[in-house]
């Protein structure tokens, strides 16, 4: 039996009862003969409460101090979890990100992990302890300041520790049973995926699936750490994410892994752009200089009569205002006619490694949408993904139609087990 | 202008408004030309809430993890305070006890400071920052574990940093205007003391005055750091605690510094102890082996007829049960007749360096109590203190009578300014 890293999110340790339940699960893993390292997030709404406090004292909290503040949340949950484990008669020690050797760059609020030097964790394990580590946090290499890793940081902490400790598996415990072929809140017949490749999972994550973040999957792929996403409320097997299905598990690679959707984006269309070299570059330089992340970009062929073309792109709604402002400033220089902003859109993506060798997939995707009466506004593809933009109001119907068309619907009439808390 | 260390307690930073008010005061000190180091406690009831959580997951929380948990409280308040200061346009950085170089022994929950190596604080100050330091916490020398200093730990942190940084003064901000000649809640005419010697302050602290704890005053005396106890709600001068009145302040040493009282103790009387060598030792060995702190001890001469004597001592009420149990076990061995436990007592103490040279003080003290009809049950004295034990119900009358008899009453008819929050 080897070493396992387990990660529990804030909803799993939301209160004393949750902490005690998680403690029991951890002890079970230890009893089964594993060395156990646990990464834990802040309890429930703690982080939001701390952010609220920060906003009360300062409209723009300083990065260094904001990180110092937020890391208090994991300090509380990890200490309580260690106490709860010791109360079950097993030895446990909690460690901050810094103590666990999570070394980052100095970009506060969204630091990147540079190195992991888990000497103290190794010692604690060798002495028979269960090691509890604060997720989401590290210490900067140059200044020795406390940093946080940004969204999904605890998952990344878990995978990074699993890599540094050469763990068998990184188990990500959450409030759903695993990764599904579609969001079960939208598609009642969505099926839990038993195994999915890193590549497909990366595409799902960047297409709107929220179970795992892209960054965490990317880290796991780089170090080839199998991830097991599963529920902290049930004892069921969840979804394995790895290079290959594990030897003792016969899982056929599906042609299509799943359907993802994303309603968090908006679309900006730059209308009447002169169709000559350098115009598109000027537009996207203005966007990039404002550190705005864009997603899909589409340019149509220009109408021969006018020599003008339209360029459309999608971006997070939250950055829409900033992008419009940046582009307006460039209007005279670039020479476009007008801007159109539209945040009533949805992105629907079909993901699957099988697309590479199944040329019919794209056609089937468009046919399914067409049959459902869903109009396509933008299209973008990669080797293993097709994404389209539709009206936001069509998203549910579109996802269901595609899910059914590609035979992803569950055979069972039973409702899919989704979540354990009703949250 | 030199360096000042300011310490703010939990009631001063209980909410966002309090934090902003304190930030303004700190910035004022910085603007007046000082280098400023601030030690801060956890916000309001944070520590109690964390203790409550700990008790929910484990009846006897492990020391190491308990310290990890509790130190989250100061992490929150210090980060918020640094943000609030930066919001006023001044540079501030917060530091954990560990980052500030507060090195302790490994006794969790009541660690002692072994050394202070404030290199990072010095650097932050030299770069023009206000340094905010978490009170109450440190890091253990051998294991590098997070420790807490126990009751009054933040005051001790402040004094220890002041010593290590060679500060001009350690300002302890609290919700009262300073140290008073008696508890103003009991004696309406109590006067604020402008200056008091370390020695007298030590005696007041061990006699029930709660403004400063003995441990913090002892540390300040050892390193000769003047303490200025003052209100964080008013701008008034408070009480200076130092070896000598400061050169520019002409303050005459009072004969009597003040009257302290303490209702937190109980009295145990061991009845019928054989009056022979070793009996008292056996009794107090049993107490000491159970790590029970005792305060006053009185043994009367034995009655010649029986060869038996009674031994009485006082101890914190909270340890009464443990002491009785320990002594019951020794009953046969020691050979006493019975135990009497009484927690309806009060201790009243008169403190003042002037006692050494004013032999009438003791007599005046007893007379004042006698005139007030207060019966004395035990007496204990030091060079600069007389303490008596009385019935708990007599404490208010006793303190007032003594306060008046020694001319400590304020001349003013106005109510003494006490506290700013009504708490």
pLDDT for B348 beyond 50: yes
Under the banding of pLDDT at 50, 70 and 90, the label for residue A414 is: very low
Q: What are phi and psi of B230, to 5 degrees?
A: -150, 170
Mean pLDDT within B8-14: 94
CA distance B165 to B372: 49
Per residue in A55-110, pLDDT tens? Answer: 999 988 889 999 999 999 999 999 999 999 999 999 999 999 999 999 999 999 99
CA distance A351 to A207: 9
Q: Which residues of B touch A56 (CB under 8 A)?
A: 16
Q: Of B74, B138, A96, which is closest to residue B82 (Cα–Cα)?
A: B74
Which residue in chain B has the smallest CA separation from A18? B57
Contact B69 A80 (CB under 8 A): yes
pLDDT of residue B422: 31
pLDDT of residue A249: 58
pLDDT of residue A383: 86
> Token digits for B86?
């930066």
Q: What are phi and psi of B225, to 5 degrees?
A: -100, 115
| Contact predicate A82/B65, CB 8 Å | yes
Residue, of A391 and B412, whose pLDDT is higher: A391
pLDDT for B419 beyond 50: no
pLDDT of residue B293: 85
- The rounded mean pLDDT for chain A is 90
Per residue in A230-249, pLDDT tens? Answer: 998 888 999 999 998 866 55
Q: Which residues of A touch B97 (CB under 8 A)?
A: none
Task: Give the strand pairing for A169-174 and A227-231.
Answer: parallel
CA distance A143 to B76: 20
Candidates B68, B94, B120; nearest CB to A94: B68
Q: What are phi and psi of A329, to 5 degrees?
A: -65, -25
pLDDT for A210 beyond 50: yes
Candidates A68, A73, A79; nearest CB to B68: A79
Contact A86 B50 (CB under 8 A): no
Which residues of A sit within 8 Å Cβ distance of B?
Answer: 16, 19-20, 23, 50, 53-54, 56-62, 64-66, 68-69, 71-73, 75-76, 78-84, 86-87, 92-94, 96, 99, 120, 144
Residue A287, sorted as left (phi over 0), alpha (psi -120 to 50) or beta, turns out to be: alpha
Residue A66, sorted as left (phi over 0), alpha (psi -120 to 50) or beta, turns out to be: alpha
pLDDT of residue A280: 82
- Length of chain B (residues): 423
Q: Show the beta-strand stretches assigned E in A15-82.
A: 35-40
Candidates B56, B73, B93; nearest CB to A16: B56
pLDDT of residue A250: 58
pLDDT of residue B250: 58
Q: Of B265, B271, B269, which is closest to residue B335 (Cα–Cα)?
A: B271
Candidates A62, A83, A120; nearest CB to B57: A83
CA distance A203 to A403: 16
For an interface test with A, give the residue of B21, B76, B140 to mutate (most A CBs within 10 A): B76
pLDDT for A182 beyond 70: yes
Residue, of A250 and A196, whose pLDDT is higher: A196
Mean pLDDT within B203-218: 93
pLDDT for A413 beyond 80: no
Angle at B307 between CA B303 and CA B310, to 5 degrees: 65
Mean pLDDT within B202-229: 94
Task: Give the strand pairing for B35-40 and B92-95.
Answer: unpaired
> Token digits for B159?
């004094």
The secondary structure of residue A409, as a DSSP letter, is S
pLDDT of residue A415: 40
pLDDT more than 70, % of chain A: 94
pLDDT for A316 beyond 80: yes
Mean pLDDT within A3-25: 96
Domain B3-175 CATH (choose: 3.40.1160.10, 3.40.50.2300, 3.40.50.2000, 3.40.50.300): 3.40.1160.10
Residue B208 CB contacts under 8 Å (≥ 6 apart), including other chains? B260, B261, B262, B263, B264, B347, B349
Angle at A147 between CA A143 and CA A148, to 5 degrees: 165
HSE-CB for A84 with a 13 A CA cutoff: 25
* Helix, strand or coil, per DSSP, at residue A322: helix
Helical axes B72-87 vs A46-57, angle rounded to 10°: 30
Mean pLDDT within B395-420: 76
CA distance A39 to A153: 11
pLDDT of residue B339: 94
pLDDT more than 70, % of chain B: 94
pLDDT for B34 beyond 90: yes
Residue B82 CB contacts under 8 Å (≥ 6 apart), including other chains? A62, A65, A68, B92, B93, B94, B130, B132
| Contact predicate B219/B229, CB 8 Å | no
Q: Which of A38-47, B215-224, B413-422 comes out lowest in average pLDDT?
A: B413-422
Domain range list for chain A: 3-175
Candidates B23, B75, B86; nearest CB to A75: B75
pLDDT of residue B119: 97
The secondary structure of residue A31, as a DSSP letter, is H
Mean pLDDT within A348-371: 89
Contact A86 B76 (CB under 8 A): no
Determine the distance from the C-alpha atom of residue A275 to the mean position of all C-alpha atoms in its chain, rounded to a whole number. 37
pLDDT for B169 beyond 50: yes
Task: Give the strand pairing for A130-134 and A92-95.
Answer: parallel
Q: Of A173, A218, A231, which is closest to residue A7 (Cα–Cα)?
A: A173
Q: How far is CA B51 from CA A72, B154, B319, in A?
A: 15, 17, 20
Mean pLDDT within B198-203: 94
pLDDT of residue A170: 98
Give the closest-approach CA distance of B210 to chain A in angstroms: 29
pLDDT of residue A230: 95
Q: Which residues of A touch B80 (CB under 8 A)?
A: 53-54, 57, 65, 69
CA distance B82 to B70: 20
| Contact predicate A266/A317, CB 8 Å | yes
Q: Which helix (H) or strand (E) holds A89?
A: none
Residue B23, sorted as left (phi over 0), alpha (psi -120 to 50) or beta, turns out to be: alpha
pLDDT of residue B417: 39
Per residue in B257-316, pLDDT tens? Answer: 999 999 999 999 999 888 877 888 888 888 888 888 888 888 776 666 788 888 899 999
Which residue in chain B has the smallest CA separation from A76? B69
Give the full edge-to-edge strand order of the sheet including A137-140.
Answer: A113-116, A102-104, A137-140, A146-148
Contact A65 B59 (CB under 8 A): no
Per-residue buried b or exposed e for A95-123, using 16+ beta carbons within 10 Å of the residue's own CB = bbbbbbbbbbebebbbbebeebebebbbe
| Contact predicate A26/A191, CB 8 Å | no
> Token digits for B172?
């302890």
If you search the block for the tokens 């400790």, which residue do you land on? Answer: A165
pLDDT of residue A279: 82
Q: What are phi and psi of A35, to 5 degrees?
A: -80, 135
């Amino acid at each position: 039996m080897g070493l396992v890293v387990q990660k529990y999110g804030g909803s799993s340790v939301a209160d004393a009862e949750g902490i005690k339940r998680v403690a029991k699960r951890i002890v079970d893993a230890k009893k089964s003969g594993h060395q156990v390292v646990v990464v834990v997030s802040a309890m429930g709404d703690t982080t939001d409460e701390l952010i609220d406090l920060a906003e009360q004292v300062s409209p723009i909290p300083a990065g260094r101090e904001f990180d110092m503040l937020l890391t208090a949340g994991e300090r509380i949950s990890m200490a309580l979890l260690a106490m709860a484990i010791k109360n079950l008669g097993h030895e446990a020690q909690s460690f901050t990100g810094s103590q666990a050797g999570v070394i980052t760059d100095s970009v506060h609020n969204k630091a990147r992990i540079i190195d992991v030097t888990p000497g103290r964790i190794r010692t604690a394990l060798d002495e028979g302890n269960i090691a509890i580590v604060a997720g989401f946090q590290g210490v900067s290499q140059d200044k020795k300041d406390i940093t946080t890793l940004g969204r999904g940081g605890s998952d990344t902490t878990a995978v990074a520790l699993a890599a540094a400790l050469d763990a068998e598996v990184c188990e990500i415990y959450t409030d759903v049973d695993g990764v599904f072929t579609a969001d079960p809140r939208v598609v009642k017949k969505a099926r839990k995926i038993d195994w999915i490749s890193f590549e497909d999972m990366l595409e799902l994550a960047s297409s709107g699936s929220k179970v795992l973040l892209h960054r965490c999957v990317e880290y796991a792929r780089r170090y080839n750490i199998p991830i097991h996403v599963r529920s902290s409320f049930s004892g069921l097997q969840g979804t394995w994410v790895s290079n290959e299905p594990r030897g003792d598990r016969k899982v056929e690679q599906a042609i299509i892994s799943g359907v993802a959707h994303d309603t968090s984006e908006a679309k900006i269309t730059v209308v009447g752009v002169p169709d000559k070299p350098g115009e598109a570059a000027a537009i996207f330089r203005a966007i990039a200089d404002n550190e705005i992340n864009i997603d899909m970009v589409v340019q149509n062929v220009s109408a021969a009569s006018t020599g003008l073309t339209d360029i459309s792109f999608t971006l997070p709604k939250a950055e829409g205002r900033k992008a419009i402002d940046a582009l307006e400033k460039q209007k005279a220089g670039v020479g476009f006619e007008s801007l159109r902003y539209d945040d009533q859109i949805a992105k629907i993506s079909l993901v699957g490694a099988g697309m590479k060798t199944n040329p019919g997939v794209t056609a089937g995707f468009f046919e399914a949408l067409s049959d459902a009466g869903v109009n396509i506004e933008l299209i973008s593809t990669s080797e293993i993904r097709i994404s389209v933009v539709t009206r936001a109001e069509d998203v549910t119907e579109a996802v269901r139609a595609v899910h059914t068309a590609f035979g992803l619907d569950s055979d069972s009439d039973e409702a899919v087990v989704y979540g354990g808390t009703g949250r």
